[in-house]
Amino acid sequence: MTNQSQYEKYEKEEKSRDQDEKEEEKEEEKQHEKQQPEKRWEEKWQRDPIGTLTWPLILIWVGVVLLLENLGLLIDLGTLGRVETGSLIFAGAGVIVLAMVVVRYLMPEHRRSLTGNIILGFVLLGVGLGDILGWEIVWAIVIIAIGVSILLGGMLRRR
């Protein structure tokens, strides 16, 4: 065998070893990623404290309304006493979601896409107010509010 062919053979073997090493490294990285533990609650809280608060606040609201209803205290609240418990729960949940949207908007470090939360908040609020104001009025207002929020979101994002 000539020196040239030995050199070419050596280069091919070297390339093959390099490729094998790269594949092994990739496999090790995949294994390492799989072994990383789930993010702890504290890490999630630090990353998104507003999102972490939204659903517990809604659950607390539901519990408070149900407790007041079961104790008969909603009847003493006048106008609120005539509202069905479910409507009050949905309206309050909608207000909480929309309040979190406002907080996210005012705090740029926690700002994310708000369109889904805006729609959810208005739908929850609409379901809650449907029995009070009438479905025909509420759904028209909800659709208008969603459209305006999407329009404003698009205009503000372009700035």
* DSSP conformation letters of 82-145: GS-HHHHHHHHHHHHHHHHHHHHHH-GGG----HHHHHHHHHHHHHHHHHHH-HHHHHHHHHHH
Please tell me the predicted confidence (pLDDT) of residue 44.
52
**pLDDT range class, residue 116, cuts 50, 70, 90:** confident
Is 38 inside a domain boundary?
Answer: no
Domain count, the chain: 1
Is 112 inside a domain boundary?
Answer: yes
Is 29 inside a domain boundary?
Answer: no
pTM greater than 0.75 = no
Inform me whether the pLDDT recorded for 121 exceeds 80.
Answer: yes
Is 115 inside a domain boundary?
Answer: yes
Is 101 inside a domain boundary?
Answer: yes
Is 3 inside a domain boundary?
Answer: no
Domain limits for position 105: 52-157
Mean pLDDT, the chain, integer: 78
Is 26 inside a domain boundary?
Answer: no
